[in-house]
Amino acid sequence: MEAASTSSAFLDDLSQRGLCQNSTDLKALGTLLGDHPQRFYVGFDPTAESLHVGSLLGLVTLKRFLDVGHLPLVLVGGATGMVGDPSGRSDERNLLDEDTLRHNLEGIQAQVESLLGDSVEVVNNWDWMSQVGVLQFLRDVGKHATVNQMVAKDSVRSRMDSEAGISYTEFSYMLLQAYDFWWLYKQRGCRLQLGGSDQWGNITAGIDLIRRREGAQAHGLTWPLLTRADGQKFGKTAQGTIWLSAQRTIPFEFHQYFLRCDDRDVAQMLAQLTSLPMSEIAAVMAEHENSPDLRRAQHKLADEVTAFVHGEAEVRKANDAAAVFFGSGKLTAQLLESTLGIVPEVVVSQADLAEAESAGENALESLLVSSGLCSSLSDARRQLKQSAVQINKVRVAGPVSAEEIKSHMLGRYMLLQRGKKEHRLVAVTA
RNA sequence: GGGUCGGUGCCCGAGCGGACAAAGGGAGCAGGCUGUAAACCUGCCGUCAUAGACUUCGGAGGUUCGAAUCCUUCCCGGCCCA
């Protein structure tokens, strides 16, 4: 297999992309990867029914290993999910109930398979964890770990220093994850675990366990946490998380998130999140720096990442819709129709508008609220006063009557907009 | 179980009987400048409303002309002692 000859180039590439935060002995790891196709694993927490862009780095990295011939296992934590990983958290987690957990597992499993294909094997640690009794666990795993070491891990220490403290349950988490690694080593010959840098402590716990019980050398490699120059959390907006599931975050919004990427972050993101060769990334960045106003790098990033998650067709749709909203072209009924399914659609009846008016409200204000563009009538008035509201890309400053709204309809729809980024397609029925 | 400190708007955090819809900061929203960027400037940032009114400061009661501020009690959290 080609992996043999290219293993060191492969690791070099990873490291050039800024994907090696911590690792066990890189030389030994290179030898291991060069030897045969290796089985390795990455774990994902079943905290929701869909993964979000925070997990994207893991998925993409996994794919890099897959593409050079290694054999990935994706571990979804049916068992560990019941406990909660303290890593990177300042507060105790809420425990999920079993139904939710099962639901989440299924969602994530389907997602991973659809993104990475069936060469990825998804395993659930519930399958082996649930077979282990407390006494057995204490003897087989607990005996090999000293509390002194466990307390020294960053994830634990930072919580012990904080007011929130840490429960025994979460304290035990690393042993569960160590047991996973050991089990996968023993049963599946898995000798490498990948994860985010917050997983480093848990990974080394597993490596220790394997060494102590089996006298064998296992490996770990972590990627850094994605950060943003503006200090915000990667993958979160004020509206919430950017999910990978099209039901939770429509591909258009997903695409927009990356399109709005800060100049300072874009090179890094291209390297870490896309499979473009580094040479091509350098070329794109050169173009970008030449005329940053064209946002070539951001477009490339958004297109590549969206294609990976949602496919090429969605990339085209997202770009088409963006052209409608942000382009300077004239709006037509046809263009509006083409954004259906991308912009939320709001249907109101003439009767509703009339009713609002007879109740003494302004039709547009009440529409802004019912469409979800504004949170209250007060908010709607504020936005209007600040001339934040646009109808068909034309700013409106004052109240608009039901009659006038009707006159704005382009075919079946009218484009109602708050600020630059929030749109609704409004249909008025008889 | 005992003691003690605390629970204030999205978050942090001041207020500690009237001047409180509640300082300040952050986040957010909008506008300006731009490149659907950053930085910066301005405005907004409980609800309903013209003025003005109404509902908020962990929950429930109470004292008072008047409470986020005082009292009682309950709930929740930190720390200390057992």
For residue A301, what is the domain's CATH number? 1.10.240.10
Please state, in angstroms and rounded to a whole number, the distance separating the CA atoms of residues A332 and A53: 34
Do A204 and A150 lie in a common domain?
yes
Least confident interval from A74-78, A83-87, A328-332, A409-413: A83-87
Please state, in angstroms and rounded to a whole number, the distance separating the CA atoms of residues A29 and A73: 18
Domain-located, residue A394: yes
Take residue A344 and report the two structure tokens written for it: 């939320």
Rg, chain A, Cα only? 26
Do A52 and A90 lie in a common domain?
yes
Match 């950017």 to its residue by tokens.
Answer: A242
The closest alpha carbon to A270, from A262, A249, A233, belongs to: A262
How does residue A94 score in pLDDT terms, banded at 50, 70 and 90?
low
| Residue A229 confidence (pLDDT) above 70 | yes
Scanning every strand, the nucleotide with its C1' closest to A362's CA turns out to be B49
Q: What is the pLDDT of residue A209?
A: 96
Greatest mean pLDDT among A137-141, A244-248, A351-355, A403-407: A137-141
SS3 A226: coil
pLDDT in tens, A98-154: 788 889 999 999 999 999 988 899 999 999 999 999 999 999 999 999 888 888 888
Scanning every strand, the nucleotide with its C1' closest to A326's CA turns out to be B36
Least confident interval from A181-190, A217-226, A229-238, A394-403: A229-238
Nucleotides of B under 7 A from a protein CB: 27-31, 34-39, 43-49, 77-79
Q: Which residues contact A299 (CB under 8 A, 6 or more apart)?
A: A259
The closest alpha carbon to A218, from A207, A227, A228, belongs to: A207
Q: Mean pLDDT over all residues of chain A?
A: 88
Q: What is the pLDDT of residue A178?
A: 95
Q: Which of A276, A294, A327 is the last residue of a domain?
A: A327
The better pLDDT of the pair A70, A77 is held by: A70
Q: How far is the CA of A262 from the C1' of B36 (A)?
A: 11
Q: In terms of residue numbers, what domain contains A265?
A: 236-327
Q: Could you list the protein residues whose CB lies below 7 A from any atom in strand B?
A: A 163-165, 229-230, 232, 237-238, 256, 259-264, 292-293, 295, 298, 322, 326, 360-361, 369, 375-379, 381-383, 386-388, 418-422
The total of structural domains in chain A comes to 3
Domain-located, residue A188: yes
Is this complex scored with an ipTM above 0.90? no
The alpha carbon dihedral of A403, A405, A407, A413 has a sign of negative
pLDDT in tens, A14-68: 999 999 999 998 888 988 888 789 999 999 988 888 888 888 999 999 999 999 9
Q: How far is the CA of A90 from the C1' of B11 (A)?
A: 14
Q: Which of A168, A189, A223 is the last residue of a domain?
A: A223
Pairing relation of β-strands A414-418 and A389-391? antiparallel
Q: How far is the CA of A128 from the C1' of B73 (A)?
A: 50
- CATH number of residue A70's parent domain: 3.40.50.620
**CA closest to B44 C1', residue:** A382
Domain-located, residue A228: no
Q: What is the pLDDT of residue A2?
A: 44
Scanning every strand, the nucleotide with its C1' closest to A419's CA turns out to be B30
Q: How far is the CA of A242 from the C1' of B52 (A)?
A: 43
Please state, in angstroms and rounded to a whole number, the distance separating the CA atoms of residues A60 and A273: 6
Scanning every strand, the nucleotide with its C1' closest to A229's CA turns out to be B38
Domain-located, residue A360: yes
